[in-house]
A and B are shown apart, each in its own frame.
Chain A
Amino acid sequence: AQKVTQAQTEISVVEKEDVTLDCVYETRDTTYYLFWYKQPPSGELVFLIRRNSFDEQNEISGRYSWNFQKSTSSFNFTITASQVVDSAVYFCALVYDRGSTLGRLYFGRGTQLTVWP
């Protein structure tokens, strides 16, 4: 079974602080992909980052960075120098790859991030 857990329900920070969003996943599959999506109040889910299960190299993209550790089944996401516009609900998600079919996304319950000016 696939499961994604985001233990942090809400996080509040002041602008320019760094913030890390935690994600822990469960899967028996060896090939899978992990994602972070952002959902502003408008409701649209915006794709942010993707990592496949064979690539544990951590990367930085602008103010975003992520830490993928298979040993602890974690895929944490960090925003550096947060801004008010970063306020949104952030979802971690997983999709497994079985043969030629890529299917459903399994989402966590989301973390509400509020950045105060």
Chain B
Amino acid sequence: DAGVTQSPTHLIKTRGQQVTLRCSPKSGHDTVSWYQQALGQGPQFIFQYYEEEERQRGNFPDRFSGHQFPNYSSELNVNALLLGDSALYLCASSLQYQETQYFGPGTRLLVL
């Protein structure tokens, strides 16, 4: 039973560039959530997707956008990268109406 997968594992970008991160949910899961984890902090919720729609959003600017595909996989896009966007980006999947979220290994983004 495949768990949550994310790609790429590491990424280096420069300020102003755009980045796309990808996530495949655990088999059978239909809901994907994205979190940003800065060094030494707890994960912060970015947004959640279900049925290809954004269901909830945290306190992140519009530079952060996402998409969910019919196969439930998801992308996180960040435009106009800032140094402060450097973080570990975690994807979590769950079943709608189920409370437990399962996380992938994350993508480490470094913005120079």
Contacts and interface: CB of A to CB of B under 8 A. Distances in A.
Nearest to A44: B105
A101 interface: yes
Interface string B15-56: 000000000000000000101000011111100100000011
Interface in B73-110: 88, 90, 92, 94, 96-106, 108
A97 B99 contact: yes
A46 to B, nearest CB: 8
A47 B100 contact: yes
User: Chain A contact residues (Cβ within 8 angstroms of B): what range?
Assistant: 20 to 34
Contacts of B35: 105
- The secondary-structure label for the interface of chain A is strand
B40 to A, nearest CB: 8
B58 interface: yes
Given A108-B42, A109-B41, A103 B103 contact: no
Contacts of A109: 40-42
B100 A35 contact: yes
Given A45-B90, A50-B99, A105 B105 contact: no
Contact of B97 (A37, A100, A104, A105): A100
Nearest to A103: B56
Interface in A39-73: 42-47, 50, 52
Contacts of A93: 42
Given A33-B99, A44-B105, A50-B100, 14 more contacts: A42-B105, A43-B106, A43-B108, A44-B103, A44-B106, A50-B99, A102-B99, A103-B45, A103-B48, A103-B55, A103-B56, A104-B48, A105-B92, A107-B44
A-B pairs, 10 with minimum CB distance: A107-B42, A104-B45, A45-B103, A33-B99, A44-B105, A103-B56, A43-B106, A109-B42, A107-B43, A102-B99
